[in-house]
Structure 1
């Protein structure tokens, strides 16, 4: 390790190993750790100026980002908390979702794939993340890692990878979705966080692509987003098993701080009508 890197590492570590506010150098630019002004136990991680994750040190199950809550609700509607969930997270940030799942599913085995090795090291230093084999952070490119995994080796794959405001194209195509399907158990679920503008063109094509690979597709987003009124997040999930059929899920999604709608069946078909499947 170079002298410069040693200095950066010392700056990013507090005497007790806890979070260190401020701007820190990482392999892909900078990250900034900011105290949550509304929560003395909360921290917000910004990556290259974009809010990426929120962590509550006192409550690992708390998810402040709405889209993460939606993914969490979908996951707990699919499997009981006693299930030994095998989860693959493509995109790490502060590992908020993985940390939450570790608390909800005590038997879970999770891998977080993070491109930025320096960021992965900082997150391990700052936050109380479970250790391997409960939670491993693997440094690598998401598509390459997914393609290296064994068939039917995961129950849940979550893609939450962004370069700026967009997901890299190689992680959106049918060829990649088919790789994710190969890695999933036959009853597994593939979930993506799609950031889109009001025209929803990207979300329509991503949903069409996932629908081309899986038997069932669901979409979760807030009404303003689905009506094309703002930029935001659309959660799209695919599975060959029944998906989103628990009536409690729709009620739970409506009850959050930002109520969300759950679209299935014909609603998804209408949404993707005319949208071209993405390909390599």
Structure 2
């Protein structure tokens, strides 16, 4: 439930630093809200249930996280891209010992999200206003266990956040067996997903991909979750079964499949 005394969300369009955002009620949920940023669906929030993730790609990210860390683990998380902080709310509820920092470029949007939604306070969830690459570069080595990159300008991730050089910067911030997770939005040709997979595979020992079968067969625009780690990643039959049994069934590709998928694609560079 929303905190007592916190301002209730109100449907409407609001000016933010990078344009406008629109908040609209979810017609299928008593206390759910959809956030659009410059006309693009960005986030869904259920104020009554932080464990509810309506966007399938967020459920895939959550499944990868839950397969690696338990509720009592003191998980250190860096979110690059905030939106309505759906994933930080989820992780705070599923992993209450976690400490999270959310990097959001748009200061006004961050202010509105804090005002509207029941976000755990610092040190559980801190919102840091800034550019994702600059903030990542400023962090101490081995200071995070998990980095989630979910940054979009329109339908694409800004190029500086996709390159080998940035991926190496992110790896420095991760613990030795930490996980780097990216949300890649791509068209049916999967050109960007292949290049992002090649980029991450060039930096990390182990990779994984989660996406729905239609996306992986090049039949539609959608999301591909790509993961990199020098430690174990996506192991165990339970994760693959769970992904297949979701509302939108998804396939889990392990390292060999990811590298075959990326074969011939050039890693992205600055």
Q: Superposition pairs for residues 65-80 of structure 1, below 5 Å?
A: 65-80=55-70
Residue in structure 2 matching 1:130, options 120, 130, 133: 120
Q: Post-superposition, which runs of at least 4 consecutive aligned residues in structure 1 deviate over 6 A? A: none
The partner residue of 1:32 within 18, 22, 27 is 22
The Cα of 1:16 is off from its aligned counterpart by: 5.0
Cα separation, 1, equivalents of 2:94 and 2:247: 20
Query: Which of 19, 42, 45 is residue 55 of structure 1 equivalent to?
Result: 45
Q: Secondary structure at the match of 1:206?
A: helix
1:192 aligns with 2:185: no
Q: Give 1:144-163 correspondences, 5 Å limit.
A: 144-163=134-153
TM-score (structure 2 length as normaliser): 0.97
Q: 2:33 aligns with which of 17, 24, 43?
A: 43
Instruction: State the aligned residue count.
Output: 266
Alignment correspondent of 1:5:
none
Cα displacement (A) at 1:269:
1.8
Alignment-derived partner of residue 100 in structure 1? 90
In 2, the alpha carbon distance for the partners of 1:138 and 1:247 equals 37
1:224 maps to which residue?
A: 214
1:101 is paired with a residue of what secondary structure? helix
Which stretch of structure 1 is more off in the superposition, 245-254 or 65-74? 245-254
Q: Aligned-residue CA RMSD in angstroms?
A: 0.8
Q: Which runs of 5+ in 1 are unaligned?
A: 1-14
Q: Does 2:265 align with 1:275?
A: yes
Cα offset, 1:266, TM superposition: 2.2
Q: What do residues 58-100 of structure 1 show as CA deviations (whole Å, max 9, x unaligned)?
A: 0001100000000000000011111011000000000000000
1:20 correspondence with 2:10: yes
Q: Write the deviation string for residues 97-124 of structure 1: whole angstroms up to 9, x where unpaired.
A: 0000000111110000000000000000
Q: What TM-score do you get using the length of structure 1 for normalisation?
A: 0.94
